[in-house]
Amino acid sequence: MRWVPLLLLVAACGGGGGGGGPLPAIEQQASFGIVRADAPTQLDVQISNPFEADAAAEDMGGAGGPFAPAAGALPADVPEGGTLLLRVVFTPPGPGVQSGEIHVKFVAGKREQEVVLHLAATVETPAITLLTPTLAFPTTFVGLEEALNIRVRNPNAQTLVNLTSISAVPAEFTTSFQPRSIFPGDTTSIRVAYEPQVVDAFDFEIEIGNDVGPPLRVRVTAQSEEQAQEVVTEFGTVPVVGGETDWLEIDVPDDAISISIESIATSTSAWVGLLGFEGPAGKVYENDSFTGEFLWVPGFEGVFAATLPENDSATLQLVPGGGTYRFRLFLWSGSASSLEVRAIVERRAGGVPDESRIDLNVFLAPGLAITGPETDTKLQDVLSRVDDIFGQIGLAVGDVDYYQLGDTAYNSVSESEFPALLGETSVASGTRMNVFFVQTAIGGGVLGVAAALPGPKLNASGVSGVMVDYDWSNAAAVGQVTAHEIGHYLGLYHTAESDGQTWDIIEDTLECPGECTTASGGYLMHWQYVGSTVPVITDGQAHVILGHPLVDPAPSLASLAQKKAPEAAFVELPAGFCGTCKEHK
């Protein structure tokens, strides 16, 4: 039997080395480094052809694990002296260091060579960082908005982080959250806005869901307060003994911007005045000798009103820090057994706001035949001009209610009829700046008149508003006169009177004509403004206007739907124009 030579032949052919037995495997190392935890990662590994001939590379399987050749990577032909570019796919089984092997066999003819590819990867532990664990909103005024950002960072080197959800927030809060991805090393912001509608306080948590860990928890604290408060002290019926009242006191907080004193006598024939007015730390505005700097006008029709500050001088301002003020009233003329007295304190947290509004009650004489005031072109242009004029100090015409007068006697209003006309404000649903448009004012002697300087925040009295001749000119001029009269009612005197020797008490208005390049200085409150541009309201005048109780510190809630600038130019006001003449009182 000849089986021995056969065995020798098998032994001679069993290896790849030409009679020396199997070639030892070639060991090769490759590392993925740090890899993301949420998706497979690929790495291209170069393996040299170990033969000096063309070879075929095959997958031998190996130890297995999370590493495997990419689909279609093997088998592959590798030329002599060439390199196999093997794409390896690593599927992370979990965080931490992972290792494995891939065995590749190179075949060239009858020769074979095994290459063991040792692979390693460090799978990062996914993380997410909350950079703002607390949102502490500053005290926020009702109706205004404050916004802060929640900042979230992805600290990972490779792993993408997804924000998936956010918990519900109270109605006063809104967020800019949308599901999003954060790339490694990046930071994203989620805007949170707080717009309180009432005075309230909040302390709650926002939860932000993500795909790498438990929800992020952000504590939110917020507190709101009224930007403006009107504090009314009702003294009720105050006896008048010997022609005067006792001292009356009011406590004024440190955020007050004005104090208004109002009284109504039991008789409309009584004229009421101010016998004393004092502030904290011995501050005297008016004394019983009437030599104080505070300027006041005796109350017409039994109604008295005065507001501090009444100008921009340092001596006629509220005492800083708040405190107790006191005043007393007396009968300038006429008789009355008592007065109904109140004090109105306007509080403005943070000072006078940049934007304010004044709402209007507009009364229309029947002879004007304005049947649709909301769409009447001239009327809306008149009100638009008023809005333009006061807009220079941030004061907008706000909501407007319209009332049609039924009595034809109010088409042409005499001085004696004026108080009764203003009494028609009793039908108004709200206490606002009352404006009456008529065909003829005071028998044609004036184009406009305000019943008081300043006027009270009061309806149904003989001094509750202003009156304007509507038919005398175009919308621009009528609007100018209307703004002029409203300016009086809110506390402004003429910057100059017709005598050329009497001026107002505002320090930043020039004494025209001597100090002015034009006779009127362009001022809204000049006794006879002439010009074609929007008349000027100074900062000092604005200081007075914005403290009046009829001025609301919020932006316009319902600006005029038909608002548009009048096309007509201003015209020169005739000699009959005097606005509120102090002599009328």
| Strand order through the sheet with 83-90 | 41-48, 83-90, 67-69
Helix (H, G, I), strand (E, B) or coil at 379: helix
CA nearest neighbour of 509 among 496, 528, 490: 496
Position 332 scores a pLDDT of 94
List the structure tokens of 443. Answer: 């028998």
State the 10-residue block means of pLDDT for the chain, 585 residues long.
Answer: 29 40 87 89 95 94 79 94 95 90 93 94 93 95 90 93 96 96 96 94 97 96 88 96 96 95 94 96 95 92 96 94 97 95 92 88 96 94 95 94 94 94 95 96 88 96 96 92 96 89 90 85 84 86 96 60 40 48 35
Structural element, H or E, at residue 489: helix 475-489
φ, ψ of residue 276 in degrees (nearest 5)? -170, 145
Structural element, H or E, at residue 541: helix 539-545
Position 528 scores a pLDDT of 79
3-class DSSP string for 286-321? ECCCCCCCCCCCCEHHHEEEEEECCCCCHHHCCCCC
Position 144 scores a pLDDT of 82
d(CA 150, CA 134): 8
Chain mean position to CA 497: 41
CA nearest neighbour of 281 among 255, 246, 318: 318
Per the CB < 8 A criterion, the answer to whether 95 and 181 are in contact is: no
Beta strand 271-278 with 284-286: parallel, antiparallel or unpaired? Answer: antiparallel
Position 11 scores a pLDDT of 31
Q: Which residues pair with 436 in a beta bridge?
A: 363, 467
Per the CB < 8 A criterion, the answer to whether 441 and 478 are in contact is: no
Beta strand 146-153 with 129-130: parallel, antiparallel or unpaired? Answer: antiparallel
d(CA 37, CA 42): 13
List the structure tokens of 213. Answer: 């860990």
pLDDT tens digits, residue range 347-381?
Answer: 988 788 888 999 999 999 999 999 999 999 999 99
d(CA 278, CA 218): 51
List the structure tokens of 86. Answer: 């093997």
d(CA 179, CA 202): 26
Position 6 scores a pLDDT of 27
pLDDT tens digits, residue range 208-253?
Answer: 999 999 999 999 999 998 878 899 999 999 999 999 999 999 999 9
Chain mean position to CA 9: 96
Q: Which residues pair with 256 in a beta bridge?
A: 347
DSSP designation for 350: T
Position 1 scores a pLDDT of 30
